[in-house]
Amino acid sequence: MSTQNIVLSGFMGSGKSTIAKALATNLDKFMLDCDYILEGFNAMKAKDMRAKFGDLAFKISQEKMFLFLKNSVKNSVIATGGNMHWLSLNELGVNFYLKTSFETIIDRLSKDKNELEKRPIFQDMQKACKLHVQTQDKFSQMADFTIVTDDKSIELVKDEILNLIKEKL
């Protein structure tokens, strides 16, 4: 597996960043969080960029970041943004889809008020639920592996991914 990236995809709040940190530590790889990279590229929070410039500008920025990662990043664990389902994430490396029920996502995010507030989509739960349903197939189709995260600890999900890496890669 040497320089191959490990990519974590999934809906907002599925645990990508948290699991990526645990994997990066275990695998001795760099951890890159696309949400923070995007904010760095634009010198503003993602929600502020969307509000100020609109969805098209946001997607263009995501695509630029995607191309940067694809062409420049190796030997890393990449936590993708939860709204990157429209990009070919498997081109970045081995893609693990963290499949998480909407109920579990809401439960996790509700434990910290700031987590819900920094994700504007969750201001309208019906809209968020609809988007969750709409994106599941796309995430699943792009994934090399699907990991169901409901009722699993960070450690258990991390170990499941590590076992797949050892067995399959």
Strands (E) in 91-131, as ranges, are 94-99
| Whether the Cβ atoms of residue 109 and residue 20 lie closer than 8 Å to each other | no
Is 40 a known ligand-binding residue? no
With CA atoms as reference, report the closest residue to 97 among 70, 109, 79. 79
Is 82 a known ligand-binding residue? yes
Is 119 a known ligand-binding residue? yes
Is 81 a known ligand-binding residue? no
Rg (CA), the chain: 15
Is 76 a known ligand-binding residue? no
Is 153 a known ligand-binding residue? no
Is 111 a known ligand-binding residue? no
Instruction: Name the packing angle between helices 55-72 and 46-53 (round to 10°).
Output: 130
Is 14 a known ligand-binding residue? yes
Is 50 a known ligand-binding residue? no
**Largest Cα–Cα separation, the chain:** 46
Task: Write out the binding residues for substrate.
Answer: 35, 82
Task: Write out the binding residues for ATP.
Answer: 13-18, 119
Task: Write out the binding residues.
Answer: 13-18, 35, 82, 119
Task: Write out the binding residues for Mg(2+).
Answer: 17
